Amino acid sequence: MESSHRTADGRFSRLVRLPYAHVIDANEAHLIERREHRAVADVLISSLLFAGCNIAWRYGSGPAIGIVGFRVVIGALVAVALARRQRAGSWLDPLRVRSGRIAVAIQVVGLVAAGTMFRTLDGPLAGLALACTPAVALLVRDRAGRFSTFAALGSSLAAIIGLTLAAGGDGVDSVTWAGAAIAVGFVAVEVIGLRTSELAVEDGLNPTTIVSSTMISGSILLLPLGLIFGTFQQPWTIWGALAAALAVALFGTVGRVLRTAALPAAGVTAVAASSQINALFTALGGVLLLNDSVTPVSLVCTLLAAALGAIAVVTAARWRLTRTPDLGLALDS
């Protein structure tokens, strides 16, 4: 509507509404769209990088703790380099805030859990187990819209069906129920890590500093353990451990930075659903590179779960950023 005001001679004169308000709306819509695209891209790219990590874990020789020790040191160097390039701040910043300390501690535990799991289970089966993540993430109740929630739930159900079929197999490569239980334990740690990292970013901490703090803290704690209980016990495995640690550190550290930045915008449930993409490419990598076996039905379930997981990410980012654009602030750095 056009507004009016009374002039000096008592007559009413119409005021032409300036387009300033419309410019603000257009700018805000463009900002939301840009953050939405960035959030989706970060989550999907990180899923592919994590799949590379899962495959690299299996190439390493020696105990998993030895690879983890080297991995966190190399990851710390990568994270610090990224933080300096972004001028993100000191790695000590997260340790000065309660939410940051909790996030860093959980992430360090997750590093050990990930290395142990993917050195224990075959690639396709570990991928199917990892795909149960959204089922656990739904317990967090991090709102992401009805459609995204149903997509995440559907992806989880498809993955669980695939896991159940694989667990019921008679082959050597089939998942045991004990292995599935270990994988679910890892998933619980993963979901808690996602939630605590999300809260830390929402408290204003830079995602890159959270990752660098995780890697440096992990180096202080895990490198001595990795040397004592891993490399020194089997010194002939050092080169294989270093090669695997290098690949895992490069892929994993960059993936963690991207995923952590996108967490507030996409939400825990949607980011957890992106693990279906991780699971799909972990399975494919295991089949193509490591001669793993996978049943056609399990592969179809994994494909369906990955598609639903991607839909969950896209719809969740749109739903959350439309209602609260500030959730994407971390994506502007």
Place of tokens 């619980």: 188
pLDDT in the model for residue 180: 63
Percent of the chain beyond pLDDT 90?
35
Cα dihedral 218/223/225/228 (nearest 10): 180
> 125-174: per-residue pLDDT in tens?
565 666 677 877 888 878 888 899 999 989 888 887 876 776 555 444 45
> 198-250: per-residue pLDDT in tens?
999 999 999 999 999 999 998 998 888 878 877 777 777 777 778 888 888 89
What's the rounded Cα separation, in Å, for the pair 301 and 161? 7
Q: Which of 73-82, 110-119, 125-134 has the highest mean pLDDT?
A: 73-82
CB 155 within 8 A of CB 130: no
3 state DSSP class of 14: strand
CB 121 within 8 A of CB 129: yes
> 39-64: per-residue pLDDT in tens?
999 999 999 999 888 888 777 666 77
- Closest-CA residue to 154 (of 39, 312, 313, 272): 312
The beta-strand segments (E) located in 20-83 are none
CB 189 within 8 A of CB 106: yes
